[in-house]
Amino acid sequence: MCNNPNRITSERKLVDKRDLIVRFAGEGGQGVVTSAEGLAQAATQVGYHVQTFATFPSQILGGPTWTQTRVSTSHVLSAGDELDVLVAFNREAYDNHVSEVRKDGVVVYNSGDFQLEDDGKSFGMPIDDLAKSTGNTRAANMVVIGAIANLVNMPQKYLEQFVTQRFTRGRANDQEIIESNIKALSLGREQAASSGFSLGTLSAAKRPEGQQILIKGNDAICLGATAAGIDFYTGYPISPATTILVWMQRNLIGPGKFAYQVSSEIESITSILGAGFAGKKVMTATAGPGFSLMGEGLGLGWMAEIPLVVVDVQRGGPATGLPTKTEQSDLFACMHPAHGDVSLPVIAPGTVEECFYAAVQAFNWAERYQGPVILMSEMSLAERAQNIPKPDLSKLTVENRKVYQGSNGYMRYEASGVSPMPLPGRAGSYVANGSEHDPTGDTTHLPERHVQMTERRFNKLKLLEDGTYEGKNTQESIAVMPWGGSKGPAQEAYNLLTEQGVPIGWYYTMYLNPLPPKLLEELRQKELVLVPELNYQGQWASILRSHGVKAEAITQYTGLPFKVRDLTRRIKEIVKSSQKRMVGV
């Protein structure tokens, strides 16, 4: 196996020994996902930082799937561009992904499935046969992880520790499973060792300070909602929001709690309207198609003033679009989902950690202004596993709506802003009305009432102007301002550009509506605000322009996240040409 001189003589080095990017590609069911997640779990156990990326076909079994795991000694911003290692489970995967392997990278392929001519960077191992020889066919992912560990000299004890912990589940066959998995790791190691390939040594992990958790974006939203005191969840299965429904059905249980799969997204939104009216803290989660169905109900929530949270986990659109790919193209829809004069609060987290805090804040906003709040996530965040500092629940601020405590005869909608909400079962009965209404909630068509009530509803948004934001190099006249999941790649690009001396500032907030007023003021002073976003129309840039900001979008609409190198190049080009333009003026 070692008769190729290239392999032995050239000690392949990690370009950056603090960072390892591995892609697993193959067919659904071959261990593509479990390998990526297994590597992430193993690496975080010993103190590395990780981030994964996953993209699936929209079918139950099979179909081309790939996942990526980036392991680093410091905080990871994106899943990474160029691959150090590609694990190709079949020929199609090799053909489709080999071009993304960096010059000195290595390809590990499944020689049980196909054979390759020697290309100087690849070695094969019969993944399934090796797994089978351990007596545990499900250990294929451990064969792969063992090989990768050997390529970067990761100590065997790290992995054995991980395997022991993971499979100690209090079952009779625990020991058997642990031993077969450790054997699988060793077999993978041996294969990599005898191939002669090496990528050097990944620097030892520096364990992050404080307890960390490894979690995906959708789970972080669920935990945030739980921390904020969610009582009631209804939902309908839809990629990539289904995992939120599944989580809630399992965990939102106990006295006063309720989670249920209803018959459509129309039932989701209207049942949480009913429960919100009854005094509960409520949420539903969906993706574009379901969100479209919720438009009328969201308008009702705004009109009748009912606190609720709707999560839109974006996928590619429109219509059925790209159910399992990522895109940021629902922003226009989220800002104005309903007919009539409506402006809904929108919070769009950009990282897995922000998913948690955004969910808490979405509930706080809903309770505070008594209306619907949209929490926008996206497929790449939903399925991204990342280590984040463990939130301290005792330090969270959790808000509850003002509840009416008086006697009957209350004018629920009289004040010019938010007013205490009566709860059914107690004194203070009124009609929560989706028609224009008078202070008691009765329907009215008087012009002065429509003016009064419209202004009341918009006045309440002023309560939500407490959003925070990031600003760096704010003296520069050109700034980059991503939103949502494009934050990570944009931040990595920004860091590279400022290292290179490109004069550029940075702004970011997850509070898209209402925008923090001071941030808007700053943005309006800029010559140019560049907005990297995953849609064709440049939706956020367009909204910023409507706010009087000179914004220009950097768009991509492939169904995949930005690559850092593309973003870096495109930002640099625009900065250069606008500098020329400014000098010319």
Contacts to another protein by CB under 8 A: 44-45, 211-215, 219, 223, 226-227, 231-232, 234, 251, 253-255, 258, 260, 262-264, 266-267, 270-280, 282, 296-297, 299-300, 304, 387, 390-391, 393, 408, 422, 424-435, 438, 440-446, 449
Q: How far is the CB of 445 from another protein (least distance, A)?
A: 7
Query: Is 526 in a helix, a strand, or coil?
Result: coil
Q: How far is the CB of 142 from another protein (least distance, A)?
A: 19
Minimum CB distance to another protein smaller for 3 or for 211: 211
CB 348 within 8 A of CB 376: yes
- Interstrand relation of 308-314 and 505-508 (parallel, antiparallel or unpaired): unpaired
Minimum CB distance to another protein smaller for 306 or for 541: 306
Minimum CB distance to another protein smaller for 272 or for 564: 272
Minimum CB distance to another protein smaller for 46 or for 520: 46
The Cα 502–Cα 478 span in angstroms is 10
In b/e form, how buried is each residue of 6-27, taking b as 16+ CB within 10 angstroms?
Answer: ebeeeebebeeeebbbbbbbbb
Among 167, 138, 125, which residue's Cα sits nearest to residue 35?
138
Q: Which amino acid is at 538?
A: G
Minimum CB distance to another protein smaller for 43 or for 107: 43
Minimum CB distance to another protein smaller for 277 or for 562: 277
Q: Which amino acid is at 298?
A: L
Minimum CB distance to another protein smaller for 255 or for 584: 255
The Cα 132–Cα 115 span in angstroms is 20
Q: How far is the CB of 424 from another protein (least distance, A)?
A: 4
CB 101 within 8 A of CB 119: no
The Cα 475–Cα 478 span in angstroms is 9
Q: Would you give the DSSP letter of residue 416? A: S
Burial of 48 (0-12, 13-18, 19+ CB in 10 A): buried
User: Residue 462, CB half-sphere, CA atoms under 13 Å: how many?
Assistant: 8
> How many other C-beta atoms lie within 10 A of the C-beta of residue 328?
26
Minimum CB distance to another protein smaller for 133 or for 249: 249
Minimum CB distance to another protein smaller for 264 or for 320: 264
* Residues in Cβ contact with 419 at an 8 Å cutoff, skipping those fewer than 6 apart: 402, 404, 412, 413
The Cα 433–Cα 442 span in angstroms is 7
Q: How far is the CB of 278 from another protein (least distance, A)?
A: 4
Q: How far is the CB of 235 from another protein (least distance, A)?
A: 13
> How many other C-beta atoms lie within 10 A of the C-beta of residue 579?
16
Q: How far is the CB of 29 from another protein (least distance, A)?
A: 26
Minimum CB distance to another protein smaller for 231 or for 354: 231
Q: How far is the CB of 33 from another protein (least distance, A)?
A: 18
- Interstrand relation of 372-378 and 528-533 (parallel, antiparallel or unpaired): unpaired
Minimum CB distance to another protein smaller for 299 or for 371: 299
Q: How far is the CB of 200 from another protein (least distance, A)?
A: 26
Q: How far is the CB of 304 from another protein (least distance, A)?
A: 7
Q: How far is the CB of 259 from another protein (least distance, A)?
A: 10
Q: How far is the CB of 438 from another protein (least distance, A)?
A: 5
φ, ψ of residue 369 to 5 degrees: the values are: -100, -5
What is the C-alpha end-to-end distance of the chain, expressed in Å? 65
**Residue count (the chain):** 585
Beta-ladder partners of 385: 216
Residue 499 gets the label, from left (phi > 0), alpha (psi -120 to 50) or beta, of alpha
